[in-house]
Structure 1
């Protein structure tokens, strides 16, 4: 798989990135460690050499699973992890990074990201300058190679960039969730900041495996996802019906088509999780789907069936429902 530069760093990432939220098990159902390890390894074997994790995913469990899957090929992969919003004070950032290094069984993390803006989830509002000073220190020490932010708005991204070089933004971004296009994407294009899109398949909705009458299992956090609720869900089914003929034309799945559209957007790379080996290799094949400008525009218009009626709330989940 061809690689792309991460921001202005000398790190090369794959346009499809292995996501490992599910590897932490928290908020997920039916996840088995052995299967996850196979899925991560299958992603590597299929050419996906960039993997994204976070300390909060199962309280370090995801990072440990990544290490089990990839330690023997560490020099061939790019690790991206994140510091939790409750650990943004200077010394806590340093401690969190050291924990992640231990979990990942490595002496450096290629990309270390602030997971959520300070103050999110009623946490203490730590000045970005303080957090960035710790990240800059870690970079100077060689413990991290690049700094990124996740879930930041344009304004927050711009503020963070005052205190150090930001090479990536990780927002929720898919054909069915496009808030970043109106907010931070133009800034990222202008400043050569890579976008690492998460929920790039709208948490599985864009795979087409959730039909009109699908009932989510108890404990599945997708029940809180606004795209899985009411009229939004009905509109998603209409859009999927219109996408199917395009996927058939390319002899690819709906998921591959959706990922191919996403990585064709400016500065954008797609994080895609997988529960088993087949999903990993299937996700990797999305990088081979080449869409014409006309097709990209056609898919764009279909996606707007879902995105245009959405309100301005930038958070995909309705945690209070």
Structure 2
């Protein structure tokens, strides 16, 4: 339709031109001014309508190309959907059925090698060192190196989950001001943590426990409970500065609680220790050394 639009507008321009100069053409006697007016009118009408026809033709051609492009896109989308529905989906279904029918090769290897089952059982039973040794032995075999790497990752994830469980238990004990629960969780973590991580954990916990003991002593807590907790803290964290200071103060705490300063058995008297500990003094050193005037140690600054 673009060429027809061009010709139509150009013809309309000629018609307008003739309509405007019709009175001048009636006598066919053109002066110099009339000829110039007619030329100007012809330029404006015929030229303007011709230019408008050309622009309109270009716009119609561009619109036609855009419509063709949209039609091609819709046709391509329909063909793609038809291809997926008729070809790809049935093919994927056949592949899935084939994979389900045949077990993976790795599973077959796992069932044939008893070492893999032993490693997984050790991981399940939280026997970490045994699992590590078995994985190291498995890694030395080139045929099972990939399985050893996968089992090493599985062991790491299992240990991380166990560590996180004990940490949550420890934090719950701290929130409830339950020192026995905190120490039990710490003892469980010693099976999984090594080196600097365990040292940092002990440093934080012993400070918290010493502060708790100081609070118990100031609040008038039963001296027997204070001495019992101090004994457990000194035994558990004896390699820390706070634990060593608490071990020095422990005999005095036991004496205040009515216990023997050495063996923590009930004892009332002015002697240095109960008769049993005095009788055994010649055969062995006391369990904890006494220190006059000791009290619950203050947290070092």
Both proteins in one fold, TM over 0.5: no
TM-score w.r.t. the length of structure 2 is 0.19
TM-score w.r.t. the length of structure 1 is 0.18
Higher-RCO chain (CA-CA 8 Å, sequence separation at least 6): 1
**Which is greater in Rg?**
2
Judging by fraction of residues, say which structure has more strand. Answer: 1
Judging by fraction of residues, say which structure has more helix. Answer: 2
